[in-house]
A = this chain, B = another copy of it.
Amino acid sequence: MKELSVGIDIGGTNTAIGIVDEKGNFWAESSISTNKYLTIESFVEALTKKINECLDSINENYIVKGIGVGAPNGNFYTGTIEFAPNLNWKGVVPLVELLNKNFHLPIVLTNDANAAAMGEMIYGSAKGMKNFIVITLGTGLGSGFVVNGKLVYGNDGFAGELGHVIIDVNGRKCGCGRKGCLETYVSATGIKNTVIELLDNKNSESILNQIDRNKLDSKDIFMAAKEGDKLALEAFDFTAKILALQLANSVAITSPEAIFLFGGLALSGDYILKPTKKYFEENLLEIFKDKVKLELSGLMGKNAAVLGAAALIWNI
């Protein structure tokens, strides 16, 4: 009998749903709005309906092994979404408990970056690896650490916050209320702010000067770099240098076999990967040099967030 997993990716705007088998094939797909639902109860009701529609559309015998959910601030241990700044539902939201009333199946919740790491292990480039790190470079910087073949959730379910490692106590203000967190430099938002600083300080002739600063995003910086824009290339170099040092420091702690970069900023490909690799090797402790792979995610361009959520079920 075909075994299937339901993968759900809850984003600030949309929630994507996929019914996936162990090889990563999609048997059904759909989505609902996230921000349309002002209460968690109404959201769970709509989500339940859509999951059932997806399952009903499959014309083959199957078993549903469980439901995996990736969500901002998702806590693996408690099954709750806790104080997620970009969702309508405030405080601690018992998502798994509510879903379990409608689906009497194993339901696993974790944050987006941990789901991405699990997706990499089951469906991506980390197949067979026991120790690796996935870094998601989006609006912020998320990370999923896998040690001995298991995701590191830590004592309270919130491990893997590499984006909130402080790299400069007098650095940029972070959304978390502190200063100098890694994600204020290394993320789609971080590189945008780096470009703005460079434009302000340099009187440069960059083509990025022509873009309204409120609309500037990491894709614009990528396009400028492709055209050889020096300021854009400098911004990538600056970002890569900071990322590389913290990756080298992470290697000293968990000694992974590989590190995978994922998310919007990783779409810049070699513009972020090449300088990061160079600085990474320079910064590694001797015993780790030339040992640790640094690559783009093997799931780039795929519906990776849903795959990652679905993957949670194969590794309970």
List residues of A whose CB falls within 8 A of some B CB.
82-83, 130-131, 143, 145, 147-148, 150, 152-162, 164-166, 169, 176-178, 245, 248-250, 252-257, 283, 285-288, 291-292
Give CA–CA (A46, B255) in the complex, Å: 34
Contact between chains at A161 and B252 (CB < 8 Å): yes
Contact between chains at B162 and A252 (CB < 8 Å): yes
**This chain's copy number in the assembly:** 2
A307 CB → nearest B CB, Å? 24
Q: Determine which of B165, B245, B257, B288 lies in contact with A253 in the assembled complex, contact meaning CB atoms within 8 Å.
A: B165
Give CA–CA (A292, B176) in the complex, Å: 18
Q: Determine which of B83, B147, B249, B288 lies in contact with A152 in the assembled complex, contact meaning CB atoms within 8 Å.
A: B147
Contact between chains at B256 and A145 (CB < 8 Å): no
Contact between chains at A285 and B154 (CB < 8 Å): no
Question: Can you report 24 residue pairs joining A to B where beta carbons are below 8 Å apart?
Answer: A82-B287, A130-B155, A131-B154, A147-B147, A147-B148, A147-B154, A148-B148, A153-B255, A154-B254, A155-B255, A155-B257, A155-B291, A155-B292, A156-B288, A156-B291, A159-B253, A161-B252, A161-B255, A161-B285, A162-B252, A165-B249, A166-B249, A169-B283, A178-B283
Contact between chains at A286 and B177 (CB < 8 Å): yes
A197 CB → nearest B CB, Å? 20
Chain A interface mostly: loop
Query: Chain B contacts of A257 at CB under 8 A?
Result: 155
Q: Contacts A162-B253, A252-B165 given; indicate if A176 touches B145 (C-beta within 8 A).
A: no
Contact between chains at B254 and A285 (CB < 8 Å): no
Q: Contacts A147-B147, A148-B150, A245-B169 given; indicate if A285 touches B164 (C-beta within 8 A).
A: yes
Give CA–CA (A283, B164) in the complex, Å: 10
A312 CB → nearest B CB, Å? 16
Most buried by B among A154, A159, A292: A154
A77 CB → nearest B CB, Å? 10
Contact between chains at B245 and A158 (CB < 8 Å): no
Query: Chain B contacts of A292 at CB under 8 A?
Result: 155
Give CA–CA (A7, B105) in the complex, Å: 47
Give CA–CA (A162, B147) in the complex, Å: 16
A219 CB → nearest B CB, Å? 29
Query: Chain B contacts of A286 at CB under 8 A?
Result: 176-177
Give CA–CA (A157, B291) in the complex, Å: 12
Contact between chains at A131 and B158 (CB < 8 Å): no
Contact between chains at A176 and B131 (CB < 8 Å): no
Contact between chains at A176 and B285 (CB < 8 Å): yes
